[in-house]
Amino acid sequence: MPDELDPVAALTGLREVLDGPLHEIARRLSHLVASRWPHTALIVFTRECAGRPRKVAGDVDMLNKVTIGELEQVKQELDPGTPVCSTFAIAGEQRAVWAVRDPSDMLLVLVPRSPGQPLPQPGLLTALFGIVATSIRQQVAQASPDYLAESRAAALERERTITELATAHESTLVRLLTTLRSTELDDHRARVTATDATSSALVALRTAQQSQQALSTEAAPAAFTVLRNEIRQMLRHHEAPIEFAAPTAAGSTLPGDIAHAARAMTRTAVLALTADPELARLRVAWTCDDATLLVDVRDQSTGNLDGASLRRQLQGRARTLGATVGVDATPGWGSRVTVELPLDASADTGVETRLTNLNRREREVLDLLAQGKRNKAIAADLGVTESTVKFHVTRVLHKLDVSTRGEAAALALTAGADAAART
């Protein structure tokens, strides 16, 4: 049995877990808990992340077989805040697991290296995961550019894969069903049995496709209802009247990353406008069609809005999603903030999406590469060894899908020029 994990060491390591790209948080958490809770696989399951509800680390072969349905079943059998050591169906087999369901409804599953080992320090594991769950929820709610790029890429890839698989399987099942219904078959009983089984499989496949696609989308009116509740809570002590104009019930379904971003940007605009002590009225509206979501926040106030500062706050998210931001203020009349978010992923810029895949250190290395510095100079600037710099450079080239340092530097310079042109 490993020694107990010191809470101070746990909290120190937890800082590293929280400081980094959201899509890699499971890997960092796995590294932190490995010594006290040795495991072959770790899964964080959250409906908060539209594009990637499972965040995993460990045995790839096993993790590739884990399904959303299995994780939902585990979650349903757990009481929030009460960790368990039990047996569940994971990756198609009954396995001994350690599991924690956070009160936020997020799930942590560990597959221990020794199946019969009791769960050590359950209270500490629950507390650590509670902080991780809170961090994930905050990152999603803030909808940072890094999260948006990663989430959108994952959601689109997931949707593409689901569609391709469903189309192929549906075609196969339809052909099989047509054959089984043929009157040329002799064994009537076999034909009826096979027909019923195939019909059921076809219905299940279509239902699974709809269920999986629903994970990465939100109905526009429902997304606005969440926003309205958030703003009312946020401004519960504010005296100015607030009017909400929701998108129509016939409005488009929003990609999950767009819904999160729209709420985050609307909240930012609302906070900026309500800072005016003479605010007389505030109106928050969303308008949605098949191509665009328009966020429109306006007020009746002095019109003394720091438009440049607000634009900078909104620009990071807007740039990631190809959105257009408008900030207007008329002294003595009021202010208006608009954000036009395209629903089509074609608005993404390939270069920026690839750049957002880099972590903080890799961006630092890329910036120095763009200045023409060699590995020795980069190592001196960053206070690391040359071998560490070589490792980061290799990762940068891989993530940017380029083969030379010059190509990577050119991408960085191009993105910088594009950003300057838009500001």
The string of pLDDT tens digits covering residues 70-123 is 999 999 999 999 999 999 999 999 999 999 999 989 999 999 999 889 999 999
Mean pLDDT across 354-381 = 84
What pLDDT, on the 0 to 100 scale, is given for residue 40?
95
The letter for the amino acid at 247 is: P
Strand pairing report for 324-330 and 281-288: unpaired
**Which residues fall within 8 angstroms of residue 370, CB to CB, at 6 or more apart?**
408, 409, 412, 413, 416
What's CA 279's distance to the chain center, in Å? 35
What's CA 233's distance to the chain center, in Å? 24
What contacts 24+ positions apart, CB below 8 Å, involve 359-363?
359/20, 359/21, 359/24, 360/20, 361/392, 362/392, 362/395, 362/396, 362/399
What pLDDT, on the 0 to 100 scale, is given for residue 347?
42
How far apart are the C-alpha atoms of 260 and 140, rounded to whole Å? 7
What pLDDT, on the 0 to 100 scale, is given for residue 161?
52
Confidence of residue 130 (pLDDT cuts 50, 70, 90): very high
What pLDDT, on the 0 to 100 scale, is given for residue 198?
67
**Which residues fall within 8 angstroms of residue 264, CB to CB, at 6 or more apart?**
141, 142, 143, 317
Query: Both ends of the chain: CA-CA distance in Å?
Result: 57
384 SS3 class: coil
Rounded to 5°, angle at Cα 354 from 56 and 343: 85
How far apart are the C-alpha atoms of 94 and 111, rounded to whole Å? 11
Cβ atoms of residues 17 and 134 within 8 Å = no
What's CA 45's distance to the chain center, in Å? 11
- Residue in the structure block whose two tokens are 């209270």: 123
How many CB atoms are located within 10 Å of the residue 387 CB?
A: 9
Confidence of residue 50 (pLDDT cuts 50, 70, 90): low
288 SS3 class: strand
Whether pLDDT at 173 is above 70:
no
Cβ atoms of residues 66 and 93 within 8 Å = no
Which range scores top for mean pLDDT: 19-23, 24-28, 315-319, 415-419?
A: 24-28
Mean pLDDT across 341-364 = 70
Confidence of residue 228 (pLDDT cuts 50, 70, 90): very high
Whether pLDDT at 15 is above 90:
no
**Which residues fall within 8 angstroms of residue 14, CB to CB, at 6 or more apart?**
32, 128, 131, 132
Cβ atoms of residues 97 and 88 within 8 Å = yes
Backbone CA torsion sign across 209, 211, 217, 222 = positive
Whether pLDDT at 166 is above 80:
no
Calculate the CA dihedral of residues 95, 100, 102, 108 and round it to 10 degrees.
Answer: -60
Cβ atoms of residues 377 and 383 within 8 Å = no
Residues of the chain with pLDDT > 70, as a percent, come to: 74
Rounded to 5°, angle at Cα 215 from 210 and 219: 85
**Which residues fall within 8 angstroms of residue 180, CB to CB, at 6 or more apart?**
191, 194, 195, 198
What value does the mean pLDDT of the chain take?
A: 80
- Residue in the structure block whose two tokens are 């993404």: 348
Tokens of 85: 């050591």
Cβ atoms of residues 258 and 343 within 8 Å = yes
Confidence of residue 234 (pLDDT cuts 50, 70, 90): confident
What pLDDT, on the 0 to 100 scale, is given for residue 371?
83
Tokens of 376: 């020795």
